[in-house]
Amino acid sequence: MSNHYDVIVIGAGPAGYSAAIRCAQLGMRTAVVDAFVFKDGEPALGGTCLNVGCIPSKALLDSSEQYHKVTHQLSAHGITAQGVELDVEKMIARKDRVVKDLTGGIRQLFKANKIEWLHGHGQLVEAKTVEVRRPDGSTERHSADSVVLATGSQSVELGAAPLDHERIVNSDRALDFTEVPERLGIIGAGVIGLEMGSVWSRLGSEVVLLEAQDEFLGPVDRQVARTAQKEFKKQGLDIRLGCRVTGTRVDGSVTVSYEDKNGKQELEVDRLIVCVGRRPNTDDLCSKEVDLLLDERGFINVDEDCKTNLPDVYAVGDVVRGPMLAHKGQEEGIVVAERIAGKGGHLNYETIPWVIYTDPEIAWVGRTEEQLKKAGIPYNTGVFGFAANGRARAMDQTAGMVKLIAHAETDRLLGAHIIGPQASELIAEAVVTMEFAGSAEDIARTIHAHPTLSETVHEAALAVGKRAIHKA
């Protein structure tokens, strides 16, 4: 069997499925090749994000937060709960249901938009021909006017801590522990390490994170990172910086050998999660006849419009440069579909928000003070703490702050850095302001409802002009 399509997309994560849906909306005959199989053996759309990434991790973060609230936080509200029990298997089953509902939703969207899903491994065998290897080993070739590569990424492995998928695992398996490990080790105190560490620590694990860098959360604003480190320490996360892992031994438990500034160390844990970054899925993407240009780290080389070096072949999402975030990939997918249709799609890489879903949440957009100093750009900052916000006090969630950074001469908003309750939602106001080239004054002159957490953003904007109302 061989078909010709207007567009073939390889990969059905947020980047690929969004590209496909937008192509179909624009009237193009579209097929998507995806090989993913969920742990129950069922092929599933949605890629890493829906199956083993954003969604399951947030489902577990939410469940663990509920448990932690009941066991640790409700007494301050005059509520005592007795006989609280934890059923981890049920928690994991709920997480799986959330995943299934959403991946089933993508399947429905494909049907509604008449997108063909070709389940199997896709390989570019000629510039615009894709070979699909089906699970039964059979192959078929399909051609298209345009091809979109959206094959995503996978966990980087560490020679010193090889996975055995039981005691030493990556993030995929860490979403499926059926009991709470008494002692949990995590290599890498980055985004996954902190989110997974939070889940299992709230459920009762003693969590130790071994981080190679001397600085905690390097890419994050320093004031925010310091606040985060202090808060996580209070919660019992033991974050050890400047650690070089040299080996692991598994015998019932896992012994991790590492070196830090004090010399050789050992850590004994029941489970170990390795989360030291992700790498692009490009190993088996092209036959040797196809000369797709990759960079030295294996990412597909693209220009600002996500065009590869091959005519009519585009690449989007984790498999290309830029942050490995679902919303970045999704927007790239939409832009590419619109460009294929001859429209003018555009993505502003300066306004991609980041969120770390810890407690407190951390969110930022745009540039940090450190980056602006380096670039010689003059700026003013406005900082306002949640401790002086009425709603945060009512919620008993007063840790953290909002920091806004504006150009010293034009007042244009250049960055926003938030640590605190609902930071993931609050950041959107700064993103929109930056997208509209707005100023701190624009936010300062905008009415924010009272009492809301968003008043902290308002006060931070007032603080840029040194006129915050609730600040001494």
- Cβ contacts of 11 within 8 Å, gap of 6 or more: 32, 33, 34, 47, 122, 149, 150, 151, 152, 281, 317, 319
Q: What is the dihedral of CA 318, 322, 325, 329, to 10 degrees?
A: -60
- For 7, the 3-state DSSP assignment is strand
Cβ count within 10 A of residue 38: 16
By the 10 Å C-beta count (0-12 exposed, 13-18 middle, 19+ buried), 226 is classed as: middle
CB 374 within 8 A of CB 354: no
With CB atoms as reference, the residue minimizing the distance to ligand NAI is 190
Residue 287 CB, nearest approach to ligand FAD (Å): 12
Among 95, 278, 391, 403, binds ligand NAI (CB under 6 A): 278
Angle among Cα 347, 364, 405 to the nearest 5 degrees reads 95
Catalytic residue from among 68, 407, 450, 470: 450
Residue 161 CB, nearest approach to ligand NAI (Å): 8
Provide the sign of the torsion angle of the four alpha carbons 21, 25, 26, 29, taken in this order: positive
Question: Is residue 12 a contact point for ligand FAD (CB under 6 A)?
Answer: yes
Angle among Cα 376, 377, 380 to the nearest 5 degrees reads 130
Q: Is 417 a catalytic residue?
A: no
**Residue that is written with structure tokens 């590209």 in the block:** 19
Distance CA 173, CA 170 (A): 6
Question: Is residue 246 a contact point for ligand NAI (CB under 6 A)?
Answer: no
Question: Is residue 317 a contact point for ligand FAD (CB under 6 A)?
Answer: yes
Distance CA 278, CA 318 (A): 9
Q: Which of the choices ligand FAD, ligand NAI, none does residue 212 contact, using the CB cut-off of 5 to 8 A by kind? A: ligand NAI
Pick the closer one to ligand FAD by CB: 334 or 372: 334
> Of 85-93, 322-330, 395-403, 437-445, which part binds ligand NAI (CB under 6 A)?
322-330
Question: Is residue 129 a contact point for ligand FAD (CB under 6 A)?
Answer: no
Question: Is residue 210 a contact point for ligand NAI (CB under 6 A)?
Answer: yes
Q: Which of the choices ligand NAI, ligand FAD, none does residue 231 contact, using the CB cut-off of 5 to 8 A by kind? A: none
Binding mask 273-292 for ligand FAD (x = CB under 6 A): --------x---x-------
Kindly list the residues in this chain that would bind ligand NAI in the complex (CB under 6 A). Answer: 158, 187-193, 195, 210-213, 243, 245, 275-278, 323-325, 355-357
Active site members = 450
Kindly list the residues in this chain that would bind ligand FAD in the complex (CB under 6 A). Answer: 10-16, 33-36, 47-49, 53-54, 57, 121-122, 150-153, 171, 192, 281, 285, 317-319, 324-327, 329
